[in-house]
Every structure is written in C-alpha cells, then in structure tokens.
Chains A and B, each alone.
Chain A
Amino acid sequence: MLAFILRRIFQSIIVLLVVGLVAFSMFTFVGDPIDNMLGQERTQADIERLRQQLGLDQPFVVQYWNFLQNAAQGNFGISYRQGRPVAEILMERAPATLELAAVSAFFAMTLGIGLGVFTAIRRDGIESNLIMGVSLIGVSLPTFLIGILLIYVFSVELDWLPSFGRGEVVDLGGWTTGFLTTSGLKALILPAITLGLYQMTLIMRLVRSEMLEVLRQDYIRFARARGLRERAVNFRHALKNTLVPVITVTGLQLGAIIAFAIITETVFQWPGVGLLFINAIQFVDIPVMAAYLMLISVMFVGINLIVDLLYFAIDPRLRVGKGKGH
C-alpha cells in the first residue's frame, strides 16, 4: 500500500518535472527574452548586463532549477502582452473558470448518473432508446457547435439568456463570484451546459453499461428474491457497485472539463483562464502559456493521483492483489 502510494507520487513528480522542462524550453527557445525586453537602441554591454541579471549566462541545468524554484513560488514573470505579472492575471481569471467547471461537473454528474440509471433499468423503453440516440449525436457534435446552437436558440431566438460574459459579479475579497446575482446565475447556464454535455453523455453511457452488467449478477437476483423493493435493489445494491469506475472516469474528466473550458470560454467570451490561454497563443505570449501549462498540469497530475488513491481506497480487492500502476 505504502509502496504503491510512494511510487505514484514519484511518478507524478517526474511528470511535473518533464512538463516543467517543456515550459522552460518555451522561454529559452521560442524568441529571445533579451530581444523582447530591450529596445532597438541597445549596446553589447546592456545585453550582457541583462543576460547576467536574468541568469541567462548560467548553465542550462542551473537555469532550469531557478525556473522550477520560481514556478513553485508562483512566479512566472511578466506577460509580454499585458505587462503585468502572470500570477496576478491568472488569479484574477481563475474564479470564473473554476465556477464554470464546478457547475458543469455537477450538471454532468447528476444528470449523467440519473439518466444512466434510468436507461439501464428501462433498457428497452422508447425513452431510453431516444436518450441513447440523442447522446450519440451529442458525442459527435463539436463543443463549439453545441455552444453556438444554444446561443442561437436561447439568446437570439428566445432572448432568455445572455450569450456572453459572466453577468454581474460580486467581489468576495479577491474571489469574484457570479453565484450571488440573478444575471450571474443566468449567464452561467448556457456555458455550463455546453461544457458539461459531453461529460454527461460519457458518464451516462458508462453508468448504463456498468448497471446492466451489475443487474445480471446473482446478488441482485437474490435481493429481488428476498422481496426487496425495486428502488432498494436498483439504488442501494446495484448503483453502489457501479460507482467505482464512475468515480475514476468522473475524476479524470474533471481535468478534461478544465481543458475544454478553453473552447466554451471562447464561444461565450467567458473571462476565464481558458480565454486568457487562447489569447496568449494568438499573440505568442510565452509567460502566460508556460504558466497555464504548469498550472493545468499540476491540476491534472493532482487529480490523477487522487483518483488512483481513491480507487485504491474504495475497492478492497485492489489492496489484496498486486494492482498494476495503470
């Protein structure tokens, strides 16, 4: 158990070091920082001085170590485009993305599990087949088209919901939230559905197939024979045993939600980290790109690690047998 945890943590650190190397290489090889910081009228002495100041005259490994130290302290330098510290910009944008991701994940999980159970219990019903059919289209539709479609129906035609921005936000000591105003909540609906739809279909399909598997087991038949109510059999006995893979997939999808928020945020001009990243790519704003990369990898690796450990904690069978790392 302890060996497993230690190995997983070690692997996670390796991944972060590799990603850090990629982020660091971006600074070193994409464009010359000296060029970016000094103007046209510069002397060789200026260049040398700045080179020394930035530590660029030191060996690669030392520079990489310095970079890692700075990154660990949240210091990613100054955005080429906005001229402000990257960490500050990221902190300002993070609440928008996190709130959007949280609402989407909630939507995807509740509706996904609910519909999955429903379609599994009534597997041959018309509604179930309809839901499954629609979900197939939902998987094939690119995210941005779903967003545009929703904007067209609910903003352009019906004029019920706003098509861009966060609405009014309340500042709670550095954390801006849209949860407390009506316009903020209304602005959340369309982006959250757009972002969560794919994950919802995924969870739904997974729950359905797992439920169908479990419902065939002997202990379900036995529970029925004991005369337990349908509801108790379906939820207490069957659903509970499908949750292990569901938790794994949902956890991993949490990372995907944050990544796919880039697309949703662009469609809805949602002022989050994803929109920041896309703008950074368009203008080749390396510090922002590198910081986003590091931030999101810490999140991904963390989620992966937690899911793995959680998996281990939930399923006792894994503890007995020698489980594989992946």
Chain B
Amino acid sequence: MTDATQAADATAEKPTPKSRFSRAWQSDFAWKFRHSPVAIVATLVMLVIVLSAIFAPLIAPHNPFDPSSLNLMNGFTPPGAANQFTGDLFLLGTDDQGRDVFSTILYGLRISLFVGVAAVLFAMILGVTLGLIAGYVGGWTDTIIMRIADIQLTFPSILVAMLIFGIAKGVTPVEYRDQMAIWVLIFAIGLSDWVQFARVVRGATLVQAGREYVAAARLIGRSGPAIMMRHILPNVLSPVLVIATISLALAIIAEATLSFLGVGAPPTQPSLGTLIRIGQGFLFSGEWWILLFPSVTLLALALSVNLLGDWLRDALNPRLK
C-alpha cells in the first residue's frame, strides 16, 4: 500500500503548482487514488511501460537498428529456445532478419509513446489557444474557429489523420519521406485531435470571461493576450488534463492503426503498429511470437492509459460528460 501511496503522490503532484487550494485538492485526489485498485494497477503498468521505453538502450539485449549486431542465422528463433544454428537465446524470439523481438518492442514503444505524447501536446497547445481566443474574443473569430471545429468533427479523426498524412507525404520531397514520417505522423494525429480541447476550453473561457477578476484585469489595463494566458488559462486547465489523458490513449491507438495500415512509422523506425504489421505476415507460417508480443504490449499500453483516463475523469470532475 505504501508503494501505491508514493506512486499516487508522485503522479498527483507533478502537474499542478503548489498553492493552498491545489494542495487540499490533491489530498482528496490522492485519497480517491488509493481507494481505486483499477487506477493503481493501471498506473503501475503504465509506469513499467514508460520506464522500459525510456531506458530501452540500457535494458534491450540487442540494438535492433545496428545491422552489425544482427545475424541472419538467428532468424525465426522461437521465444525462450536456443537457436538451432548459433545456440543464441532470445527471451521473446527473433523475427525473420534475426532481430530480437524483445528489443524491437522496447524501441518500438519509444516511438509509439513519443508520437502519442507529442501529438497530444501539439493538439493541446493548438486546441487550448484556439479555444481561449474563440471564447475570449468572441464574434466572428469565434464563429469561424468553431465552425471549422464542427466541420472537422463531422469526420472521424482517424480519417482526418490519414488524409493529413497523405497530403503531407505528398508535399515532402521523396528523399526525406522516411525521415520525416514520424513528424508528419505527429502533425497529422495532433491536427486531427485539437477540436475536443478547443470546445472545452472555449466553454470554460466563456464562463471565466464573465467573472469579476477578468473585468478587474481589463480595468487595470492588461492586454488581451495577457489576460488570456495569465488569468483565464490557469482556471480552465483542469478539464484539459483529463482530455489530454483520454486523447493520449486515442493518439497511441491512432498511431498504431496508421502504422499498421502502412501510412505511419516506416519500417526503418518501427513503432508497435509497424511491428504488428510486420508480424501479421507470419500469422499463417506459424511464427506467432513476432505478432503476439507487440500486440500484447500495445494492448497493455492502450488499456492502462484508457482506464487511467476514465478514472481521472470521474475523480476530477464527475459532471464532465
């Protein structure tokens, strides 16, 4: 239980600055966390995954991107068994090129997580900015921004991401396409996901803009951007954090889906989705481990982020949809 408490404090204390109000709020929050086994397990799973992604170069027994460490003779080694030619042992087996599956998963996790987090950050910055402007400035600006949001919301975000990826791919010169793929992916997923942030922030901003402290700030002559960033923003952030967590789960799945479809991370920088795409080719030939382990990892990651997001939503604000 003490471990869990520490984990709770660690996660609860990171995002918010220390003020009297937030400290009181945090203790309540921490109490809810300690009493939710789902949240504790999800956090632990996520912690393990994130840590193993960060320290992948230290943990991974091989570097799957260093061709000199690969031995084609090691190809298709089943998990936990010695290779029949070289006698090498691999925890989760190897793929057709003799790459250690465990190591490729660790490196794949890095790409999946990086793309997911970066895409959500991008979506968050874009959505919060546009939401603040729409809510505070109002008028035509508001109408245009929210109309665009409405139109985009008509289409499933995965479709929007695919389309943006396709266009961006067409714009980048052929020789840079593989290198740029990760950034294009972040851009595409981020741009497909800003609407949620903008809608919630706009709604909250409309409420805050009518408050007296905003009128006071305006009276003492603070500029519009200053009022938005320094005064309104801190007051509309708590739902944003919830949406960010849920978006992270969606972004990770979106990235995996795009990569699986072959319009995401290239085979030279495989994410979990790319690995599953590669593994699917061996479904019928019996090398199940090339497919199974990346799938299970993706599932554990998506499920834990999802559960954590759901829990966070209930714990922070039961009224939020």
| Partner-B contacts on A (CB < 8 A) | 14-15, 18-19, 26, 29-31, 137, 140-145, 148, 151-152, 156, 163, 255-256, 259-260, 262-263, 266-267, 277-278, 280-282, 284, 286, 289, 293, 296-297, 300-301, 304, 326
Q: Report the minimum CB–CB distance from A254 to chain B (whole Å).
A: 12
Q: Give every chain A residue within 8 A of B276 (Cβ-Cβ).
A: 144-145, 148
B156 lies within 8 A of A263 (CB): no
> Does chain A have a CB within 8 A of B295?
yes
A284 lies within 8 A of B159 (CB): no
B261 lies within 8 A of A262 (CB): yes
B262 lies within 8 A of A278 (CB): yes
The stretch of B93-101, B204-212, B296-304, B312-320 in contact with A is B296-304
Instruction: Determine the distance from Cα of A289 to Cα of B283 in the docked complex, in whole angstroms.
Output: 30
> Does chain A have a CB within 8 A of B155?
yes
> Does chain A have a CB within 8 A of B154?
yes
A15: which of B154, B249, B303 is its contact (CB, 8 Å)? Answer: B154
Known: A145-B299, A262-B159. A30 touches B154 (CB 8 A): no
Q: Report the minimum CB–CB distance from A19 to chain B (whole Å).
A: 8
Instruction: Determine the distance from Cα of A284 to Cα of B168 in the docked complex, in whole angstroms.
Output: 10
Q: Report the minimum CB–CB distance from A293 to chain B (whole Å).
A: 6
Lowest 6 A-B CB distances belong to which pairs? A30-B170, A281-B166, A284-B170, A259-B159, A259-B156, A142-B253
A289: which of B163, B284, B299 is its contact (CB, 8 Å)? Answer: B163
A281: which of B162, B299, B303 is its contact (CB, 8 Å)? Answer: B162
Q: Report the minimum CB–CB distance from B3 to chain A (whole Å).
A: 26
Q: Report the minimum CB–CB distance from B161 to chain A (whole Å).
A: 11
Q: Using a CB-CB cutoff of 8 Å, which residues 270-288 of chain B contact chain A?
A: 276, 280, 283-284
B167 lies within 8 A of A142 (CB): no
Instruction: Determine the distance from Cα of A204 to Cα of B302 in the docked complex, in whole angstroms.
Output: 22
Given A142-B253, A151-B283, A156-B284; 8 other pairs, CB 8 A cutoff: A29-B171, A142-B256, A143-B257, A144-B261, A163-B284, A266-B261, A280-B166, A281-B263
A142 lies within 8 A of B261 (CB): no
B158 lies within 8 A of A30 (CB): no
Q: Give every chain A residue within 8 A of B165 (Cβ-Cβ).
A: 281
Q: Give every chain A residue within 8 A of B257 (Cβ-Cβ).
A: 142-144, 263
B295 lies within 8 A of A145 (CB): yes
Q: Give every chain A residue within 8 A of B88 (Cβ-Cβ).
A: none
The prevalent SS among residues of B at the interface is helix
A30 lies within 8 A of B303 (CB): no
> Does chain A have a CB within 8 A of B83?
no
B155: which of A262, A286, A300 is its contact (CB, 8 Å)? Answer: A300
| Partner-A contacts on B (CB < 8 A) | 147, 150-151, 154-156, 158-159, 162-163, 165-167, 169-171, 249, 253, 256-257, 260-263, 276, 280, 283-284, 291, 295, 298-299, 302-303, 306
Most buried by B among A144, A263, A289, A296: A144
B156 lies within 8 A of A256 (CB): yes
Instruction: Determine the distance from Cα of A263 to Cα of B280 in the docked complex, in whole angstroms.
Output: 14
B263 lies within 8 A of A18 (CB): no
Task: Provide 7 A-B residue pairs closer than 8 Å at the C-beta atoms, listed in order of the A residue.
Answer: A14-B147, A15-B151, A142-B302, A145-B299, A152-B283, A260-B158, A267-B280
Q: Give every chain A residue within 8 A of B295 (Cβ-Cβ).
A: 145, 148
B163 lies within 8 A of A293 (CB): yes
A262 lies within 8 A of B163 (CB): no
B159 lies within 8 A of A304 (CB): no
A141 lies within 8 A of B162 (CB): no
Instruction: Determine the distance from Cα of A15 to Cα of B155 in the docked complex, in whole angstroms.
Output: 11
Q: Give every chain A residue within 8 A of B262 (Cβ-Cβ).
A: 266, 278, 282
A30 lies within 8 A of B171 (CB): yes
A144 lies within 8 A of B151 (CB): no
Instruction: Determine the distance from Cα of A160 to Cα of B169 in the docked complex, in whole angstroms.
Output: 40
A144: which of B147, B171, B260, B303 is its contact (CB, 8 Å)? Answer: B260
Instruction: Determine the distance from Cα of A267 to Cα of B261 in the docked complex, in whole angstroms.
Output: 8
Instruction: Determine the distance from Cα of A156 to Cα of B286 in the docked complex, in whole angstroms.
Output: 9
B298 lies within 8 A of A284 (CB): no
Q: Give every chain A residue within 8 A of B155 (Cβ-Cβ).
A: 255, 259, 296-297, 300
B280: which of A29, A148, A259, A297 is its contact (CB, 8 Å)? Answer: A148
Q: Give every chain A residue within 8 A of B299 (Cβ-Cβ).
A: 140-141, 145
Q: Give every chain B residue within 8 A of A31 (Cβ-Cβ).
A: 170
Q: Give every chain A residue within 8 A of B170 (Cβ-Cβ).
A: 26, 30-31, 284, 286
B162 lies within 8 A of A326 (CB): no
Instruction: Determine the distance from Cα of A29 to Cα of B263 in the docked complex, in whole angstroms.
Output: 20
